[in-house]
């Protein structure tokens, strides 16, 4: 899911979070509290979101950098601007791992 789509179908309205989603949000906020100094990818304007289509709870800053909890670790979620491949880590690495056409372009 491209970042713009992820945000457009997401809410910050906590009344829309069910109990499971609130638990996930709690875990994510705890991870952010403990790891925000190491999560330099999230900068200004960090907000909590819930995507009702994917059930993903995530943080996003004002530059649309996305942070999600991965087994208790706050990780950056990236998507390739060319093909839309998504995953954790550096955009170039994700694209090379997940998208053959983009990997061939960089080879």
Q: 95 pLDDT band (50/70/90 cuts)?
A: low
Integer angstrom CA distances of residue 3 from 8, 50, 75, 85, 104: 8, 13, 15, 11, 24
CA distance 11 to 100: 33
**pLDDT surpassing 60 at residue 91:** no
Q: What is the pLDDT of residues 22-40, one digit of tens each?
A: 999 999 999 999 998 888 8
CB contact burial 66-91 (16+ within 10 A = b; e otherwise)? bbbbeeeebbbbbbbeebebbbeeeb
> What local confidence, expressed as pLDDT, does residue 77 receive?
87
User: What pTM, to 2 d.p., does this model score?
Assistant: 0.80
The structural domains of the chain, with segments of one domain joined by +, span 3-106
Q: What is the pLDDT of residues 55-72, one digit of tens each?
A: 899 999 999 899 999 888
Q: 84 pLDDT band (50/70/90 cuts)?
A: confident
By CB atoms closer than 10 A (0-12, 13-18, 19+), residue 9 is middle
């Amino acid at each position: 899911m491209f970042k713009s789509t992820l945000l457009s179908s997401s809410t910050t309205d906590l009344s829309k979070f069910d109990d499971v989603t609130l638990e996930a949000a709690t875990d994510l906020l705890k991870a952010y509290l403990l790891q925000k100094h190491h999560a330099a990818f999230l900068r200004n304007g960090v907000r909590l979101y819930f995507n009702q289509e994917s059930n993903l709870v995530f943080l996003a800053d004002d530059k649309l950098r996305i942070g999600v909890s991965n087994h208790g670790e706050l990780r950056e979620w990236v998507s390739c601007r060319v093909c839309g491949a998504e995953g954790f880590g550096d955009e170039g690495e994700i694209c090379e791992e997940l998208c053959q056409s983009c990997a061939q372009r960089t080879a």
